[in-house]
Amino acid sequence: MITVTTPPATNMLTVLATAARELAISDATAGLQELIGQASDACARYCGRAEGFGRATVVQTERDVYADCIVLDRDINPAITSVVEEGTTLAAADYELDGSLLYRLTDDSRKPWDAAKVVITYAAGYVLLTDTPQDLERACIATLGAIYAGRGRDPRVRSEAADGVGSVSYLDPKAGAEALPVEAAALLGPYRKINL
């Protein structure tokens, strides 16, 4: 179970000035800010990160822990504040963080967790836009560009022809068909969350 104690300052993957410059919009409005939010959310959902990429402080509670390690739910740059095992706060020497895997230590050796309850408080995510990888911002801008260009038209239309009678072909609405531009999907690939 995850509880957010300090939410991210923002989940926007770009700023208004950058978006306006990239889309060649001279009069950036609040409407563009809303589109930035939509594009940022689309990128986060594509990556399986409904919570977004912004840095937040969370409390993760694990019950009946009998495993080699605990997998932190938020896996972007986690920094542990405290680990409480069955009501006892562990010293930093009693656990080890390897990426997003939390190991229990005894005499500087890893041992399996064996606890009814473990509560981990930690911060994870990027300080947007201070330490955000540039390819995340580029993916957001590509998605924003597609949203901006597609305003007022049916997004399902693949092609239209007006020779004689006219015809319209539509995209195949297969399950799993991605709504992001190909460029954005490629840039976001390394940030997709793998759920075990």
Under the banding of pLDDT at 50, 70 and 90, the label for residue 138 is very high
Q: Are residues 92 and 185 in the same domain?
A: no
Closest to 181 measured CA to CA, from 149, 139, 152: 139
- Could you list the residue range(s) of the whole structural domain that residue 172 is in? 2-53+127-191
Q: Are residues 152 and 185 in the same domain?
A: yes
How is residue 164 written in tokens?
A: 């004689």
Q: Are residues 137 and 45 in the same domain?
A: yes
Domain boundary among 90, 124, 158: 124
> How far, CA to CA in Å, does 54 sit from each of 33, 44, 46, 152, 177?
17, 10, 15, 31, 26
Instruction: Assess contact for 140 and 36: CB atoms under 8 A.
Output: yes
Is pTM, for the whole model, over 0.75? yes
Residue 178 included in any domain? yes
What is the residue whose two structure tokens read 């500087």?
108
Closest to 135 measured CA to CA, from 41, 19, 13, 23: 13
Span 60-96, pLDDT tens digits: 999 999 999 999 999 999 999 999 999 999 999 999 9
Asked whether residue 30 carries a pLDDT value surpassing 80, the answer given is no
Quick one: pLDDT at residue 25? 86
Domain boundary among 72, 100, 124: 124
Torsion sign over Cα 72, 76, 80, 82: negative
- Distant-in-sequence, close-in-space partners of 74: CB < 8 Å, separation ≥ 6: 2, 51, 56, 58, 60, 100, 122, 124, 125
Number of domain units in the chain? 2
